Amino acid sequence: MKKKLTALLLVLAMAFTLVACGTGADNGGSNAADNTANNTANNTANNAADDAESEAPELSGTMKVVATSESYVTLFDKFTEETGVTVELLSMSSGEVLSKLRAEGGTPSADLWFGGGIDAFMSAKEDGLLEQVNFDAAADLAAEYKDSENYWFSKGITIVGFLLNNTLMGELNLTAPASWSDLLDESYAGEIIMSNPAVSGTNYAVVNALLQTMGEEEGWNYFDGLNSNIAYYAKRGSDPSNKVISDEYAIGITYIDGTIEALLEDYDVTIVYPEDGIPWVPEGVAVFKNAENVDAAKYFVEWLFSNDKNLQLLAEIDQKTSVKAIKPTMEGIDLSYDTGILMDEDLSLFGSERDAILAQFETLMGDKAVDE
């Protein structure tokens, strides 16, 4: 008991020291690590204004990154090692980023946007929230996966497929769907789960890609039919796969990447790549306009795409080979699938049609809600 109390007191004491550091003057703290961080941050602010842009800029300070996951730490650690720029990482969904950006009204609190459905990046560009990043290696990148004016780039491609729960499929006597059109079968009613396309970039890609492939009218008919089989539209992108592995639903329409493939080991699930085409969506990378450390963020984009080793590291983290598609000149990685199985998508329509498509989809979902 006494020991526990002492330990707790220790934590408290530590806590208060930290408070003193945090709230005190920049130089007043006693914690060495904190001090250096503070000082470097100050230097950056001064330097950023003085230093003119250059090919290999003197970089310092901190780069604040919003990313889809914390797993990119190793990549940014490498960047820190090579440039001296400290990186602070925060995971946020792209919708949250966009809302935050709009609320901030042109003075963003982060420098780099790393990952997330490309539709949000397109919206942000349209609103003038992104910074143009021109660098030599940009020419090597496949044109269909980047912005023509270099406002955003892709760090990979997310593909969409089905995740099936074998136990449930067996119990419910369901045959595995092989294609998008199979999903319309009445036997799947109430057993399919997908994310709301407004929230999930991948599921927005599904809607947009199928509409492009099938054409407006047939496409909407398809989603009308699919709607009656969908249990509900999850409000978070990772819900479909989570619900399938926890035996809640038999079929999930979800992004497929290394993390999903890893599920095969622990759970009785199957991945299906629909044979009538795989919708896909690029994952964006962009620099925020007016950010505090624009230089570092711009350099990071150049650093990432210019050096194949960096891209390889990224591919390892993502457990994806799609960087090969983005930078075809890249060595040391082979695409694990043929891009031919991907659906034909005109990315330029992704951003421009988003509002209209989501509005129509909302009506379609709403009709179902009224039925209940």
Partner 1 sequence: MNNRGHNTQERASLRDALFGVPHLSGGRRPGERKGGALTAGSLLDKAILLLLLGAVCLFVLWPMACILLRSLGDGEGGFTLAAYAQVWSRYRENLWNSVFVGVLSALACTVFSTAAAIFIATRRGWVKMACMALLLITMVSPPFVSSLAYIQLYGRRGWITYRLLGISWDPYNCWGVIWMQSISFVPLNTLLLIGILSKLDTGSLQAARDLGARPAAILRDVVLPLMGPGILVSLLLSFVRSLSDYGTPVIIGGRFSTIASEIYLQLVGYSDLEKSSAMNMFLLLPAIAAFFLYRYLMRRSDKLSEGSRSRQGRLELSLSRCGPVGIGIAAVSILFFLMMVLQYGCIFLAGFLKSTKGVYSFTLRNWEELWRLDAATMVRSVVYALIVSLAGTLFAMLFAYYMERRRVPGRSFFDCVATLPYMLPGTCFGIGYILAFNHEPLKLTGTAVIVLANMLFKQLPTATKICSASLTQVPLALERSARDLGGGQLAVLRDVILPSLRPAFLSCFVYNFSSSMTTAGAIIFLINPGKKLAVFKLFDAVYTGDYAVASLIASVIIVIVLAVEGLAYLITWKGGERNVS
Nearer to partner 1 among residue 90 and residue 176 (C-beta): 90
Question: Partners of 272 in the beta sheet?
Answer: 162
* Angle, vertex CA 158, rays to CA 152 and CA 162, nearest 5: 155
Q: Which amino acid is at 217?
A: E
Q: Looking at 132-140, 205-213, 239-247, 310-318, which segment touches partner 1 (CB under 8 A)?
A: 239-247
Nearer to partner 1 among residue 87 and residue 209 (C-beta): 87
Of residues 71, 66, 67, the one with CA closest to residue 262: 71
Nearer to partner 1 among residue 71 and residue 306 (C-beta): 71
Computed over its alpha carbons, how large is the radius of gyration of the chain?
A: 23
- Examine residue 69 and tell whether it contacts partner 1 (CB under 8 A): yes
Q: Looking at 106-114, 173-181, 297-305, 326-334, which segment touches partner 1 (CB under 8 A)?
A: 106-114
120-139 residues in contact with partner 1 (CB under 8 A) are 120, 123
Nearest distance from residue 319's CB to partner 1, in Å? 13
Nearest distance from residue 308's CB to partner 1, in Å? 27
Of residues 97, 76, 83, the one with CA closest to residue 155: 76
Q: Looking at 153-161, 208-216, 231-239, 317-325, which segment touches partner 1 (CB under 8 A)?
A: 231-239
Gap between the Cα atoms of 311 and 299, Å rounded? 15
The sign of the torsion formed by the CA atoms of 235, 240, 243, 246 equals negative
240-299 residues in contact with partner 1 (CB under 8 A) are 241-242, 245-249, 259, 266-268
76 and 99 Cβ atoms separated by less than 8 Å: no
Q: Looking at 43-51, 314-322, 331-339, 358-366, which segment touches partner 1 (CB under 8 A)?
A: 358-366
Nearer to partner 1 among residue 160 and residue 342 (C-beta): 160
Site size toward partner 1, by CB under 8 A: 72
Gap between the Cα atoms of 194 and 362, Å rounded? 14
17 and 35 Cβ atoms separated by less than 8 Å: no
Nearer to partner 1 among residue 89 and residue 164 (C-beta): 89
Q: Which of 48, 64, 147, 314 binds partner 1 (CB under 8 A)?
A: 64
x/- track of binding to partner 1 for residues 163-202 (CB under 8 A): ----x----------------------x-----x-xx---
- Examine residue 11 and tell whether it contacts partner 1 (CB under 8 A): yes
The sign of the torsion formed by the CA atoms of 341, 342, 346, 349 equals positive
Q: Which amino acid is at 15?
A: A
Gap between the Cα atoms of 110 and 152, Å rounded? 16
Q: Report the 10 Å Cβ neighbour count for 268.
A: 15
- Examine residue 65 and tell whether it contacts partner 1 (CB under 8 A): yes
